[in-house]
Structures are given as C-alpha cells and as structure tokens.
Amino acid sequence: MKKRIFSVSKLFRTTITPLVLGTLSFAMAQAKAEIVINEVDADQTGTDSAEFVELFDGGAGLSDLSGLSLVFYNGSDDASYVAYDLDGMSTNADGYFVLCANATTTANCDLDVSRNTNLIQNGADAVALVMGNASEYPNDTPISTNNLIDAIVYDTSDNDDSGLLVLLNPDQPQINENESYNKDTESNQRCENGSGGLRNTNTYEQHSPTPGTENVCGDSEEVVTIGICTDPATYIHDIQGNGSTSLLNGNSGVIIEGVVSADYQRSDELKGFYVQEENSDIDADPTTSEGIFVYNDSYDVNVGEVVRLQGTV
C-alpha cells in the first residue's frame, strides 16, 4: 500500500456527538497605507513547498507596494540570504498581498518567486519589510534597521536570537511557529485584525495557514473552518491516487474524515495514527488506498473513533 503522510493541524472526533480537540505611513510621491507583515509560514512537512509571506494594508485595498522589498535574514549569521523587490505589485481589493514559493500549492499567491521548495529558513530567522531595492541586500548583508518598516523574528522551538531581535521594538518577542507543537501545519499570524503596530510581534498566534485571507485568530473561528463530522470532506482515496505522488502533495487546509484503524502516537513509536475511509465512502478502484497515516501526537485518539482532520498532505 502506498504511504501518504497527512500532518494534522486541527481535529474533530466523534463517538455519539462530535467533540473539538483540541506604522508606518511613509511619504514618497503621496501618502501610502500602513503595510504590515501579517502572516509567515516558514515550516511545513517535507520539502516545505507551500511557504509564503503575507502583507496587509489594514483593509484599505489596492495599495501600491512599489519601492518596497522583503528581506529574509538567517539566524546562523544574522545576515540576509535572499531579498525580493515588490515594484509593480499591490495589495488586493481586501488589502492582502502574498509572496510565495509555489503558486500551485499556495492559495491566493500574488508573486511566485519560483523557488518551489524551502524558500524560507525555519528559524531562528527573520523577515523584514524595507523601503528600498532588493539589490541593496545581496547575500550576507548584515542586519540593519535602516529603511526598516516592519519585521517578524521567528523560530521553530529554537532559542532567541539577540542579533535578529534588533529588528523589533524593545521587549517584543521572538515568535515560535511550533508554539502549539504543530509547526508543520500552522503559520505565524498577526491577530487582532492585523494590529499590534509596526515592528511589534506581541499579537502573533499560530493557526492553520490563511494566505490572502483574514487570519484565523481564536478557537471558535478555527472550528468553523473544519466543520463537523458528516460535513463534506476530501476522500482519502483521492489523496492517495494511483501514482507515485499524490496530486494533492503539499496542499494545506485539506479536510478528511475517517475511522482510526491503528494508534502509534507514543514518543517511541511513529508519533501518529492511521485513518481509514468509512465503508460507505470507499471507491471501487483497487489501485487507490483507503487508508492514510496522520503524523500527529498532539491530539490523543482511540482505535474505532471517527475523526475529522484538517492538515497538509
């Protein structure tokens, strides 16, 4: 049987009833809306094929981003490793702009920089929004606050990097994408409607990625995105397919529902469990598998339970 791994970010289970588990205003020719770094997804399962950075203009919409660049800093030497110009770009009508590694695996991507995989370092690292051209930040450019508009310093359960933290206002935290132990399936999202102020990170939370749309921010809104048991979901056999690679490989936000058939969540085991499609939803194709491995030990499950999951293929 072909093995696909499904890394879960949210889960519903059911026995009798479902249960939930788990500023800058800068002057150029004219005043522009305040642009903030609103969401960063730096780590995913496997080769990180759906990484992105999202900007937000507070909802003004159609804000010109010309003259701005995104600079990525590596915590290993506190220097830049890549930068991208935003000339000719603008936020969409709702105020969002998404730079991504691969538009085929990232919804609402406005600028595909064609790196496809491993675009963003996992941490401790940083992303900065600056006024200026990307050519001013060649590889290994030291950290600087000159022309700095906004920044996020983040990690995946790594120690704080004091060299990177100079990009933030005093006493602002380095953000852990693995805060809820779901770094592969969650992103860092600025909450309270994009507030918190430029170079402030104290309103960031970790939730299932929302590129180009409103951030999740809060448990009740997350529940709405996954639905309840018996709601429509992606069939496991559609994820598995009959080829060597799933057609949905790298896709985030995929919802499945099925029966837990085996539990290997202990730290000395596989740190996950197997889910099998319910009998009523099995297809007639013998070349497609009806089972899938879910890589997650944050939500305790039991064999025989029907679970509803949202995660990344």
Name the H helices within the chain: 162-165, 219-226, 236-240
pLDDT average, residue stretch 226-233: 81
Q: Is 31 a member of any domain? A: no
Q: How confident is the model at residue 88 (pLDDT cuts 50, 70, 90)?
A: very high
Q: Which of 90-99, 137-146, 214-223 has the lowest mean pLDDT?
A: 214-223
Same domain, 213 and 240: no
Same domain, 14 and 62: no
Same domain, 71 and 182: yes
Q: pLDDT value at position 125?
A: 97
Same domain, 206 and 235: no
Q: pLDDT value at position 24?
A: 33
pLDDT digits (tens, 9 = 90+) for 97-138: 999 999 988 999 999 997 788 899 988 999 999 999 999 999
Residue at which a domain ends, from 176, 193, 218:
218
Would the pLDDT of 171 be above 60?
yes
Q: pLDDT value at position 66?
A: 97
Q: Give me the domain span that covers residue 303.
A: 5-20+229-312
4 or 65: which leads in pLDDT: 65
Same domain, 119 and 176: yes
280 or 181: which leads in pLDDT: 280
Q: Is 29 a member of any domain? A: no
Same domain, 86 and 214: yes
pTM, 2 dp: 0.64
Same domain, 169 and 305: no
pLDDT digits (tens, 9 = 90+) for 237-254: 999 998 888 888 888 778
pLDDT average, residue stretch 272-296: 92
pLDDT average, residue stretch 213-239: 77
Question: Which is it for the CA torsion 28, 29, 32, 37, positive or negative?
Answer: negative
Q: Is 28 a member of any domain? A: no
d(CA 40, CA 118): 13
Same domain, 119 and 162: yes
Mean confidence (pLDDT) of the chain: 86
Q: Is 253 a member of any domain? A: yes
Q: Which of 30-34, 50-54, 109-113, 214-218 has the lowest mean pLDDT?
A: 30-34
User: Which letter, b or e, does each residue of 11-49 get, where b requires 16 or more Cβ atoms within 10 Å of its Cβ?
Assistant: bbbeeeebeeebebeeeeeeebbbbbbbbbbbbbbeebb
Same domain, 257 and 111: no
